Amino acid sequence: MDIIQLLPDSVANQIAAGEVIQRPASVIKELMENAIDAGATHIQVLVSDAGKSSIQVIDDGCGMSDTDARLSFERHATSKIRQAMDLFSLHTMGFRGEALASIAAVAQVTLQTRRKDDEVGTRIRIDGSQIVEQDVVSCPAGCNFLIENLFFNIPARRKFLKSNATEMSNIMQAFERIVLVYPEINFSLYSNGQEVLNLLATNFHHRILDVFGKKLNQQLLTVEAETSVCKISGFVGKPESARKKGCHQYFFVNGRYMKHPYFHKAVITAFDRLLPDGEQVSYFIHFNVNPEDIDVNIHPVKTEIKFENEQVIWQILMAAVRDAVGKFSEVTSLDFDVEGRPNIPVFNANSNGNTSVKVPRIDFNPTYNPFSEKHRPAKGWEELFPNKETAPKQNNLFTTEASATINTEAPLQHQAKYIIISQNDGVMIIDQHRASMRVLYDEYMRNFQNHTSHTQKVLFPEVVQFPPSYASSLDEILTELRTLGFDITPLGGGNYSVAGIPSGLGGLDAVSLVGDLVTEAFEQGLGASEQIHSIIALGLARRAAVPYGEILDDSAMKQLLTQLSGCENMRYTPDGKKIMNLIRDDEIEHSLC
């Protein structure tokens, strides 16, 4: 009996949709790319419930005939390529012919389209790959796609969609990747009827500022390089704009967004010795390459691209970025203008009047021996060097594995980084920064639960700006920050006034602190309120903790150790790093053998 059979088209389309349509953001990406290929100059995106209820993409492109409109939903039906060789000379965003078929397989789709020269257009309605209706309709030129009830026929996949905030964040990310590479097109984005972004046609530099805020203008350096292999253009952040979180990093090749860790390393290498460890800069870089020298047909998402001259382009990119940074770095020039300066005579030992000058001499006693009885202190020196037998015994830090008390007697600080406590069976070393971070984290989490906080007003309120992409989650994050004691007021246009911060944080930059905390919470993705609390508390504790290099007196060390002993988990930081380590006597003796 034969067991191999062809799958029905509806099943095959759903399998293909698993590769192409993973979430609402995937639908928006595919429809926007089709609109660009159709020559649209205005593209409008409207979403409801982060795309779960409906997604609408309206463009003023070339439109389709009634036959093309129906055929466009078939698998591998495309106007972009005609033969296999066309894959090596692509000039369009799409080419597979799978996007509309995949969308129609997992959603209820309504399409209205009309060509500019036609008097009437076509309206098609499809439910799960089945054409339900096709009519003649009066509509504007272009295409109007309405996608409703995404994954209505695949409950398992719909169940695994994230929260609205997370899905909206993914939509913003997909939207930004396209609008950045096509600044000559007008784009607008609406969420639940509210305008999120309205971008007018402009150049690449102004499009970056429209998307991520005007403040970024002061941080960008121009990158340019043109060779026979490729042309590179764009912008890279200044070294002083480096940060650990919140960097905007984008590569584009021939009008297409791509991910490329190898080229990312080239940019970071160009900043060698200019960036602190763990920090990065923003960059927005275009590559113009001969389409025959790249392969975009690696994955249906088309963000992984293979280059034929990868190593050569790596060198060109690194040199271009290094040249941009070098032009920006100003070297202080020597000042030879001595007019009006005091005349300082040059010393000459042989000149008249200077013969009495003598070279200074250093006197010392070559017979001095600090270990001889003659030079030893008369009394009291034994107290400075107590041996193991005379040193007072101290209680062990942990009498049992589950013990939660710390002996705070006679702590010592080493290299302004570690607190050392002598124990009966060894030496306990405690990382002061990590210990402080654990204490503060627990305190902030209690403040969240008890809604108890104290605000310290800043002398002059400052303004922090967030990009429009944060709008979907910003209110929720700022509400939690206010619970901790931040005084933040909206000013409009993505600007917020910071008039107060939690008490005890007076030495920190309020604007940078709020910006970093919001960025970390946004990038981690928001779920339950407990998760938001943990992200914010950890970020705040990391910045407010006792830093390395700070000298602590005995009372400060004892207070820190006492607070640490009251923590539920005093062995590890909230992000899982070890706080303390016990070096036993036998380990010390073995190391000295």
**Which pLDDT band, with edges at 50, 70 and 90, does 207 fall under?**
very high
Phi, psi values for residue 114, rounded to 5°: -155, 140
With tokens 């000039």, the residue in question is: 91
Distance CA 135, CA 120 (A): 10
pLDDT of residue 402: 36
Residue 162: both structure tokens together: 């994230």
Residue 524: both structure tokens together: 């981690």
3-state SS of the chain: helix, strand, coil percent to 5? 35, 25, 40
103 or 99: which carries more pLDDT confidence?
103
pLDDT of residue 21: 82
471 or 463: which carries more pLDDT confidence?
463
Q: Which of 420, 415, 443 is nearest to 545 (CA)?
A: 443
pLDDT of residue 403: 42
379 or 205: which carries more pLDDT confidence?
205
Answer for the pair 184, 214: CB distance below 8 angstroms, yes or no.
Answer: no
Q: What percent of the chain has a predicted confidence (pLDDT) above 70?
A: 78
What tens digit of pLDDT does each residue of 251-294 get?
999 888 888 889 999 999 999 888 887 888 999 999 999 888 88
Distance CA 268, CA 488 (A): 35
Number of C-beta neighbours around residue 28 at 10 A: 24
The residues, any chain, with a CB within 8 Å of residue 300's CB and separated by 6 or more, are: 19, 20, 96, 98
Residue 334 has pLDDT above 80, yes or no: no
Answer for the pair 53, 161: CB distance below 8 angstroms, yes or no.
Answer: no
CA distances from 200 to 33, 61, 194 (A): 18, 17, 17
Distance CA 445, CA 480 (A): 11
Classify residue 259 by its DSSP letter: B
pLDDT of residue 10: 58
Largest distance between two CA atoms of the chain: 120
Answer for the pair 179, 283: CB distance below 8 angstroms, yes or no.
Answer: no
Rounded to two decimals, the pTM is: 0.65
- The highest-confidence range among 4-8, 358-362, 545-549, by mean pLDDT, is 545-549
pLDDT of residue 344: 55
448 or 203: which carries more pLDDT confidence?
203
Q: Distance from first CA to last CA of the chain, Å, rounded?
A: 78
142-148: strand order across its sheet: 130-137, 121-127, 108-114, 142-148, 54-59, 42-48, 186-191, 194-199
β strands within 173-282, DSSP E: 186-191, 194-199, 220-226, 230-237, 249-253, 256-258
Alpha carbon of residue 525 to chain centroid: 12
Q: What angle do CA 443, 446, 449 make, to 5 degrees?
A: 155
Mean pLDDT in residue range 487-498: 85
Phi, psi values for residue 59, rounded to 5°: -135, 165
Residue 178: both structure tokens together: 């396209």
What tens digit of pLDDT does each residue of 128-185 get?
888 899 999 999 999 999 999 998 888 888 888 888 878 888 899 899 999 999 999 9
What tens digit of pLDDT does each residue of 7-43 get?
566 555 555 554 568 889 999 998 998 899 889 999 9
Residue 286: both structure tokens together: 């275009």
450 or 574: which carries more pLDDT confidence?
574
Helix (H, G, I), strand (E, B) or coil at 574: coil
Q: Which of 42, 39, 78 is nearest to 61 (CA)?
A: 39
Residue 392 has pLDDT above 50, yes or no: no
What tens digit of pLDDT does each residue of 300-314 get?
556 678 888 889 999
Mean pLDDT in residue range 426-432: 89
